[in-house]
Amino acid sequence: MDDAGIWEVMGEAGFGRLTAAFYRRVREDGVIGPLYPEGDWEGAEARLRDFLLFRFGGVMRYVEERGHPRLRGRHLPFAIGEVERDRWIELMGEAVRETEVPREAAQALMKFFAQVADFMRNQ
């Protein structure tokens, strides 16, 4: 499934549900939860949601507020190794299943998430 198909299936509301389900898990997670600033859960969720809206739907809010994504550079302050990468992907997979993303879109999203998570590794 291409980006336009994912956007058609997910839309802004679907990406909002997905990121909310993901961050409910991250807040309680002992592996990647500590990587997130304690007082900025809502901000972290909004940034991921807005990045996904930009990436798949062309919604420019992320770029207007933060500029170019520069994902790897933004994540350099955090120690991200294979364990953290794998846990991020696992929690995102749980969120994809919880929010009942249709199979074809789920497969495409999980492929994208795995690539991005691997790219974020800096350890």
Give the whole-angstrom CA distance, residue 12 versus residue 112: 18
Give the pLDDT of the chain (123 residues) as one tens digit per residue: 999 999 999 999 999 999 999 999 999 999 999 998 888 899 999 999 999 999 999 888 877 666 665 555 555 576 789 999 999 999 999 999 999 999 999 999 999 999 999 988 888
Q: Radius of gyration of the chain from Cα atoms?
A: 14
For the chain, domains (ranges, CATH) are 3-120 (1.10.490.10)
The answer to whether 116 touches 71, Cβ cutoff 8 Å, is yes
Residue-level pLDDT at 60: 82
